[in-house]
Structure 1
Amino acid sequence: MKFVLEVTVDDGQPAKDRASELGRILRYWGGNLHHYALEPGDGSAVYDSAYREVGGWRIVATDGTA
């Protein structure tokens, strides 16, 4: 299986702020990892610190199917 994470970062922010926000998103997701079976088809939206949807993650089979 494959883990896919896609996050859109705000190009208008300084690089330091983008890195900080992405780090927060990764820590939050990592802390919630135990809530998922991590089987093909699992996934969830990803939110920034203002609770705006900025992407998502999903588990896909190695042949690319969900």
Structure 2
Amino acid sequence: MKFVLEVTVDDGAVARDRAAELERILRYWGGNLRHYALEPGDGSAVHDSAYQEVGAWRVVES
């Protein structure tokens, strides 16, 4: 399996403070990780602090 996290960092809140927004995204994702089986097909949208969708994560076959 492969875990893929893609975040666009050139628009919105992420563009204003990339490090802080990515830190927040990773912290939020990590806190919710236990709610997923982490099997191929699992995934979810990723949002910045302004609740705008800036990417997604997914689990795929490697």
Partner of 2:39: 39
State the percentage of identical aligned residues: 81
Question: What is aligned with 2:19?
Answer: 19
Deviations 1:3-61 (A, max 9, x none): 00000013653xxx210001000000000000000000000000000000000000001
User: Which secondary structure does the structure 1 equivalent of 2:56 belong to?
Assistant: strand
Higher helix share: 2
Instruction: Tell me the C-alpha RMSD between the 2 structures.
Output: 1.2
Task: Please list every run of at least 4 consecutive aligned residues from structure 1 whose deviation after the TM superposition is greater than 2 angstroms.
Answer: 10-13
Structure 1 spans left out of the alignment, 5+ residues: none
Q: CA separation in 1, counterparts of 2:35 and 2:23?
A: 20
Q: Aligned partners of 1:43 and 1:36: how far apart in 2?
A: 8
* Separation in structure 2 between the aligned mates of residue 22 and residue 8 of structure 1, nearest angstrom: 10
Inter-partner Cα distance in structure 1 for 2:2 and 2:18: 25
TM-score by length of 1: 0.84
Gaps of 5+ in 2: none
* Larger Rg over CA atoms: 1
